[in-house]
Amino acid sequence: MKNLFVLLLFSFSVPAFSDIYSDINNIEKNMLEWRRHLHQNPELSNREFKTSAYIESHLRSLGIEVKTNLAFTGVVGILKGDKPGPTLALRADMDALPVNEQVDLSFASKVTAEYRGETTGVMHACGHDTHVAILMAVAQLFSQNKTDLAGTLMFIFQPAEEGAPDDEEGGAELMLEEGLFNDLKPEAVFGLHVTSNMNSGYAAFRTGPMMAAVDDFELKVIGKQAHGSRPWSGIDPIVTSAQIINSVQTIVSRRTDVTKAPAVVTFGAIKGGIRNNIIPDDVTMVGTIRNFDMGIRNDIHRQLQHIISHVALANEAAVEFKINEGYPVTINDPDLGVKMLPSLKKVFGAQKVIDPGLITGAEDFSFFANEVPGFYFFMGVTPIDKDAKTAPTNHSPHFYVDESALLNGVKAFVQFVQDY
């Protein structure tokens, strides 16, 4: 009876934020100005210094408590409402990619930077500029309606989602290691991502595993150089590598229970030798691992080690093998998903919220969602008169965002807070 009373009380209570919904439409112009500024001034992972300062200035102008320098350039705004209630976190990622923009925009990026020793163009080719602008708008809306806010909001502006530079740490994992949730731990964390794979006005969400865990691996097969006419006088790392590649394919096809969760093991590069008649001393290979179950992930790691070491041993070669653990599986908490999916449908419409199935891309939002219940969704940004199936994908130099879709992201975050 107590639970029924609480439910009825909630259902018939006076809605909070009486003014915030009228404020949403008024903020669109400012949000697009912020987005265009950020798009024109992109910065690579762990180098988001100007972006960080831009966000910090905005939050401080709203009277929001600000913490900086988490994971080098991360910014966190903390807004305490005038009424008691839960703490919720809203997250946006800030970094851009080493991509030369090829979109005809008045605010297209002309920025260049050094990446792995080369000069490259820099572009918000994954839409993180839109994520930041959306969250800046949400922060302003709630700061203007603080008297109706029952609880506390954390606005997390996270660097290095695309991965920290070589030999550096970064991103969500480092923010947590540096104490992001130590003093103030939210009950739930919400995140979004724009995608060109859907038209504007559509959203994608599923409970449970949504995006894959990702790891990369490095392998060096060490043999013994020999003349191509006398292979018996050496140890051939090329033949050994070929056998390793073929054997590794059995991990997914014969050793993984794909009825439980799918997995992928891919070799992305192989390099060895320089001349047709010289067997080289060594061959190097790199690859990626994707999966949706942490137990399967651990087993794939074990089997890779087992196959590589034993195939090399059979060929009398040596190996140097390293797995660089990346992001865990991005999991939408089932209970939170059931609770908040109706909120997403209020914004987009029930018929326009789809289940995307499992996505083999990866996201370090997963680290936040491992600490507290998480809710992560995609929203389409391809114009409705364009075919989303043929639109340039995220990370493309032709990636294009329909700005009219962005207000849906603001509305969704506001609705989550309102309904929670």
Q: Which residues does the annotation mark as catalytic?
A: 327, 403
Query: Residue 94 burial (CB < 10 Å; 0-12/13-18/19+)?
Result: buried
Confidence of residue 10 (pLDDT cuts 50, 70, 90): very low
- In this structure, the answer to whether residues 111 and 150 fall within a common structural domain is yes
The structure tokens 């992928």 sit at 264
Give the mean pLDDT of 330-353.
98
Indicate if the pLDDT at residue 129 is higher than 90: yes
pLDDT per residue as tens digits for the range 89-117: 999 999 999 999 999 999 999 999 999 99
Give the mean pLDDT of 316-342.
97
In a domain, 7, yes or no: no
Domain holding 309: CATH number?
Answer: 3.30.70.360
pLDDT at 20: 87
**Domain-terminating residue out of 327, 346, 370:** 327
In a domain, 242, yes or no: yes
pLDDT at 19: 77
Q: What are the angstrom distances between the C-alpha of 82 and each of 64, 79, 143, 414? A: 13, 10, 11, 17
DSSP letters of 375-412?
A: EEEEEEEE-TTS-TTTSPPTTSTT----GGGTHHHHHH
pTM over 0.85: yes
In a domain, 116, yes or no: yes
Coil vs helix vs strand at 335: helix
Give the mean pLDDT of 282-302.
97
**Domain-terminating residue out of 281, 307, 327:** 327
Other Cβ atoms closer than 10 A to 139: 23
In angstroms, the CA 373 to CA 369 distance is 5
pLDDT at 241: 98
| In the chain, % of residues over pLDDT 90 | 94
In a domain, 1, yes or no: no
In angstroms, the CA 282 to CA 237 distance is 6
In angstroms, the CA 61 to CA 245 distance is 56
In a domain, 238, yes or no: yes
**Domain-terminating residue out of 327, 360, 382:** 327
Among 124, 49, 129, 119, which residue's Cα sits nearest to residue 92?
A: 129
Confidence of residue 25 (pLDDT cuts 50, 70, 90): confident
pLDDT at 18: 63
- In this structure, the answer to whether residues 334 and 321 fall within a common structural domain is no
- In this structure, the answer to whether residues 71 and 157 fall within a common structural domain is yes
Which residues span the domain enclosing 178? 16-211+329-419
- In this structure, the answer to whether residues 84 and 181 fall within a common structural domain is yes
Among 420, 379, 411, 410, which residue's Cα sits nearest to residue 188?
A: 420
- In this structure, the answer to whether residues 207 and 286 fall within a common structural domain is no
In a domain, 5, yes or no: no
* Residue 65 CB contacts under 8 Å (≥ 6 apart), including other chains: 77, 78, 79, 80
- In this structure, the answer to whether residues 226 and 374 fall within a common structural domain is no
| Number of separate domains in the chain | 2
Domain holding 31: CATH number?
Answer: 3.40.630.10
Indicate if the pLDDT at residue 390 is higher than 70: yes
- In this structure, the answer to whether residues 257 and 309 fall within a common structural domain is yes
pLDDT at 11: 38
Indicate if the pLDDT at residue 1 is higher than 70: no
Beta 65-70 vs 188-199: how paired, if at all?
unpaired
Taking the CA of residue 241 as centre, how many other CA atoms within 13 Å lie in the half-sphere pointing to its CB?
25
Q: Which residue has the higher pLDDT, 25 or 231?
A: 231
Indicate if the pLDDT at residue 145 is higher than 50: yes
Tokens of 62: 């709203």
Give the mean pLDDT of 313-319.
98
pLDDT at 16: 60
Angle at 356 between CA 209 and CA 101, to 5 degrees: 105
In a domain, 344, yes or no: yes
In angstroms, the CA 417 to CA 415 distance is 5
Please, what sign has the CA dihedral across residues 163, 167, 171, 172?
Answer: positive
| In the chain, % of residues over pLDDT 70 | 96
Taking the CA of residue 398 as centre, how many other CA atoms within 13 Å lie in the half-sphere pointing to its CB?
5
- In this structure, the answer to whether residues 248 and 118 fall within a common structural domain is no
pLDDT at 17: 66
Confidence of residue 4 (pLDDT cuts 50, 70, 90): very low
Confidence of residue 13 (pLDDT cuts 50, 70, 90): very low
- Gyration radius of the chain's alpha carbons: 24
- In this structure, the answer to whether residues 170 and 270 fall within a common structural domain is no
- In this structure, the answer to whether residues 45 and 121 fall within a common structural domain is yes
In a domain, 406, yes or no: yes
pLDDT at 22: 79
Confidence of residue 9 (pLDDT cuts 50, 70, 90): very low
In angstroms, the CA 371 to CA 189 distance is 9
- Average pLDDT over the chain reads 95
- In this structure, the answer to whether residues 289 and 392 fall within a common structural domain is no
Q: In what order do the strands lie in the sheet with 374-382?
A: 65-70, 74-80, 150-158, 83-93, 188-199, 374-382, 203-204, 353-354
pLDDT per residue as tens digits for the range 219-251: 999 999 999 999 999 999 999 999 999 999 999
pLDDT per residue as tens digits for the range 29-59: 999 999 999 999 999 999 999 999 999 999 9
pLDDT per residue as tens digits for the range 163-221: 999 899 999 999 999 999 999 999 999 999 999 999 999 999 999 999 999 999 999 99
Give the mean pLDDT of 241-266.
96
- In this structure, the answer to whether residues 111 and 246 fall within a common structural domain is no
Indicate if the pLDDT at residue 14 is higher than 80: no
